[in-house]
Amino acid sequence: MRQYFPVLTIAGSDSSGGAGIQADIKTMSAIGCYAMSAITSITAQNTTGVRSIQPILPQIVTDQIEMVVTDIPPLAIKTGMLCDAEVSRAVIDCLTEMSRRGTLRNLVVDPVMVSTSGSQLLEDEAIDIIVEKLLPLAEIVTPNRMEAVRLTGESDPEAQARRFREMGCRNVLLKGGDSDRTDVKTDWLSLDGSDQLMPLTADCVETRNTHGTGCTLSSAIASYLALGCGLEDAVRRGKLYITRALQAGAFVTVGRGHGPVNHFFNPRHLKNYNPKHYGCKD
């Protein structure tokens, strides 16, 4: 029997559909993976900001993850908004147990702390827990510039990469999409076993539709890892996907604030594979 490429997102729900679980599922589906979810919180938000956040009961979060992974083992997992300390502990306990059993594969951690509109999405108490327990489990961590400064206390990318490495992170993608440059945006990729930062540049896309770009990029990376791509290749493919999604949605108006990207600029059919021949599929 052939199988789909299952990917699990553990994140918060965005009622406006542009970020969070909704963006993750759209991204994974557009790339051709089978998207699954464990919802950590419900937000009342739109393109202009976040009105309120309701964390899900930690036991419900645990049950969601366990029911999914024991029946449809994911080939990759992406974590996004974990909201508070209790939910963070529940998620980390599940992932730690998976790691102990050898079933945790391709964990992409997007340390969602602040929304595009500037709303805080992660309680301060949860940050220390995530740094100590979650980051070392990750295959790659994908902070934006603001998050990298908050987590490391450093502003220079090389210093940030070193600090993340000290935290136990094997690979880090330091996103530069929120920089002030208007010609190109540069991300910095730090790979395990190398002291060199790899610059990954892309032309700027002139648009206000940037809601959910971080969620979309991390989900794309997780999807390509699930498809069997190597880490550097998955990151490059993920960057190309978000660039094209930005370009395709640049001139469409959705809401009065930061609108979403166009996740379905070139949707793929749901891919499947023979488990005996697992590898990267375009």
Judge whether 210 counts as a catalytic residue: yes
214 flagged as catalytic: yes
Q: Is the pLDDT confidence value at 279 over 80?
A: no
The span from the CA of 245 to the CA of 184, in Å, is 16
Which entry of 215, 216, 229, 243 is annotated as an active-site residue?
A: 215
Tell me the pLDDT tens digit for each residue of 45-96: 999 998 999 999 999 999 999 999 999 999 999 999 998 999 999 999 999 9
Q: How far is CA 155 from CA 123, 175, 179, 191, in A?
A: 22, 13, 12, 19
281 annotated active-site: no
Determine which one of 47, 79, 142, 210 is catalytic. Answer: 210
Look at residue 58 in the predicted model and tell me its pLDDT: 98
* Residue carrying structure tokens 């590898």: 279
- Does residue 27 have an active-site annotation? no
Among candidate residues 12, 80, 177, 214, the one labeled active-site is 214
94 is catalytic: no
pLDDT in tens, 163-203: 999 999 999 999 986 666 778 889 999 999 898 999 999 98
Pick the catalytic residue from 212, 238, 249, 259.
212
What's the rounded Cα separation, in Å, for the pair 49 and 34? 30
| 177 tagged catalytic | no
Rounded to two decimals, the pTM is 0.95
Q: What percent of the chain is predicted at pLDDT more than 90?
A: 84
Task: Show the domains of the chain with their CATH numbers.
Answer: 3-273 (3.40.1190.20)
